[in-house]
Amino acid sequence: MTFFGNGAWWWPYLFILLAGWLVTDAWRFLGVFIGGRVSEDSDAMVLVRTIATALVAAVIGNLIVFPGGALAETSMALRVGAAAAGFAAYLALRHSMLAGIVTAEAVLIAGMLIGRTW
């Protein structure tokens, strides 16, 4: 059973459904089932939160250092500056994730617009 194993038009959609959705959801359901029984202060939950935070940080770092699409047209300084401004707004506004995200996006969009006019 491979992605191109069947010539029918519907096969890739079924393959994505089976290989992507069902496998992922099985782990999600298991996480909800086990997570509801584990204390938030336990070593296991601290480890899970630590790994999840590290994965998010790695994805953000990857997007800053190795961007794709329209982001690849921006300078490294603009990407790092936008991330720093977003983090500063997050800290300044009592750990508001929304403020950090909006600030980083505003700095990035402003930098892209200014860069186009020069």
Sole residue written with tokens 């980083």: 104
pLDDT at residue 71 above 60?
yes
Q: List Cβ neighbours of 110 (8 Å cut-off, separation of 6 or more).
A: none
Which residue, chain included where needed, has tokens 């790695």?
58
Q: Report the C-alpha gap between 74 and 3 in whole angstroms.
A: 35
40 by DSSP, 3-state: which? coil
Contact yes or no for 64/79 (Cβ under 8 A): yes
**% of residues, the chain, pLDDT over 90:** 54
Instruction: Please say if the pLDDT value at position 96 is more than 70.
Output: yes
Q: Is the pTM of this model over 0.75?
A: no
Beta strands in the chain (DSSP E): none
User: Residue 110: pLDDT above 60?
Assistant: yes
Lowest mean pLDDT among 13-17, 41-45, 67-71, 92-96: 13-17
Rounded CA-CA distance 60/24 in Å is 22
* DSSP H or E run through 67: none
Tokens at 47, concatenated: 């480890």
Which pair of structure tokens corresponds to residue 27?
A: 């782990």
